[in-house]
Chain A
Amino acid sequence: MADEFNSMEDLAFSRSFRNWVLNKDAAERGFWENWIARNPDKAEMVKYAKAMIYALHTDTTVLSADEIDEEVRKALVRLKEAPRYIPLDGPRGRTGWWAGLARGRRFWFAAVATAALGFGGFFIYQAHSHRDVFRAFLSNYKKEAVRQEVTDAIDDHAFNLPDGSLVRLGKSGKLYFPAEWARSPARREVFLRGEAYFDIRKNLSAPFYVYTDQVIIKALGTSFIIRSIPSDSWTTITMVTGKVSVYRQEDFYAHSPVGHAPEGMILTPNQEGVYDQGEDRLHRTLVGTPEQLGVQQDTSLCFEARPVREVFGRLREMYGVPIQYDEELAGCPVTVTLGDESFYDKLNIICKAIRGSYEVIDGNIVVTMPGCK
């Protein structure tokens, strides 16, 4: 046992040693006093380990027991009020027909490729599902110069692309794009590694593509945040305004019939797309705290026996989040006053008034209500 402590860190990272150093009356006292007596050659090591502990040890009781109790109480109150909804956020969120379909599609694709091309086809398929998007991106610009914007670990950097779109590139980020953009390009393309906010200038005839190592995003005129850190096994796309489509590599590079756009996932404001590399799947959910679109001067709203349709319509207008409910009950009257609460608090208030509940499903709010009161 004693032989296990052969370095400063062995001691400093030992819970028992630490307890004894910080509290000389600890139960470990006998053991450590003994150990030190038996290991006089390690006296120096003990000294540095102690210094390390003293150095690292700061007062960790930054919150009082009362404050913690208060936070726990708050959490318990909140969870009792929480409606049940289907989780989609976690990486192991949902398995069902959707996942089954995705698996089926992939199998189908592999089967056709293999049948058509024999073993060669299989390798093409393999290469396909782990495509080097960066290389594919660069190969489109063999003749043109490709510009590179790089940020260091300290500062972010905002700049305009040749088409006037704004990019704010986060720390340790890289953005590649052709140095010269044609006057009327067929498409605008950039490649991103890291995190960036994009505010794309509207140009309906030249869609804007952001390539990342994991997914491809297509936008028209819109703003969003992409987080694609090379060491992460996921990529997130957070919508601010407008609409984008997100594609898995396999779908993006699959040969679709002429005139058919590849199959992607559409994201609208306050939705977040998460690509999970492990599962090769795209999930859609809502951002943690949906924010109001644009600037709102006066957010207080009073509804006096107004139809449910109107209340949800207004909420949807404010946050851009799709809200679904039973059309037959759309005319039910509801009386409710909304202030500057968060999106979910507003929803809770409305649901209380209509004695209903809501779920977040695939980036949508789905409201269930028992019927007109």
Chain B
Amino acid sequence: MSAVNLLGEDLFLWNEYRTGNADAFGALIRVHYSDLFHYGTRFTRDAELVKDCLQDLFLELWINRETISETSFVKYYLLKALRRKLTRKIGRSRYTGSWEELHFESLFSGSYPVENNAIREEGLPELTKKMRHAVSGLSKRQQEVVYLRYYVDADIEEIAEIMSVNRQSVYNLLHESLKKLKKLSGKASRFFLFLPLI
């Protein structure tokens, strides 16, 4: 998660890149690499494939720099492009073996969340675990929407753009997900209320 909103700097670098400034392009991909890689590896465990895709994407962006439009949402543009690239790449190897449609695999890299002191101090390990369980129970598309909303700070419109679906479906996916997470919190709170009685 890059913590700072880099809109202004992004736009500057983007415009510099479009005029052919390779250093600016390097800086631009340096800023976004981590997020792009993280997003890409939500679709496949093959980290090398994601790296290859990103290399191809960068090369294409460079080659096409003169025809690429000005965009103030550089990050979303890149995420969308990566998603499309992955779709094609994974689709490409398809006829050799089994199909592997571009499916958001999981929000989580597999490891459990850091159960740090903060969680324990606040008495939240139990609730955190349930929350995590509920998130894992969301459909892949719901997880992807939550991911983009949470990790990438994309709003409904941007998510729709990245995933190439309409806004209404993004809205529905997000709404359903949050409803599920809240249902859990309702149950959990009752659980917590009864706990002292036992």
Contacts and interface: CB of A to CB of B under 8 A. Distances in A.
Contact of A195 (B37, B91, B122, B166): B91
B189 A12 contact: no
A362 interface: no
Nearest to B56: A288
User: Interface size class for chain B?
Assistant: 35 or more
B3 A19 contact: yes
B29 A60 contact: no
A268 interface: no
Q: Interface on chain A toward B: helix, strand, loop, or mixed SS?
A: mixed
B7 interface: no
Contact of B178 (A8, A15, A76): A8
Interface string A313-325: 0000000000000
Q: How large is the interface on A (under 10, 10 to 19, 20 to 34, 35 or more residues)?
A: 35 or more
Contacts of B38: 60, 62
Given A8-B178, A55-B128, A93-B67, A75 B55 contact: yes
B181 interface: yes
Given A13-B150, A68-B34, A82 B63 contact: yes
Contact of B185 (A48, A74, A78, A232): A48
Given A93-B67, A288-B92, A79 B25 contact: yes
Contact of B95 (A12, A50, A84, A240): A240
A287 B89 CA distance: 10
A171 B111 contact: no
A163 interface: no
A92 interface: yes
A8 B181 contact: yes
Interface of A: 8-9, 12-13, 15, 19, 21, 24, 44, 47-48, 50-52, 54-63, 68-69, 71-72, 74-76, 78-80, 82, 84-85, 87, 89-90, 92-93, 156, 168, 170-172, 195, 197, 223, 225, 227, 231-233, 236, 238, 240, 287-289
Interface of B: 1, 3, 5, 22, 25-26, 29-30, 33-34, 37-38, 41, 47, 51, 54-56, 58-60, 62-64, 67-69, 85, 88-89, 91-92, 94-95, 98-99, 101, 107-109, 111, 113-114, 118-119, 122, 124, 127-132, 135, 146, 149-151, 153, 164-166, 178, 181-182, 185, 188-189
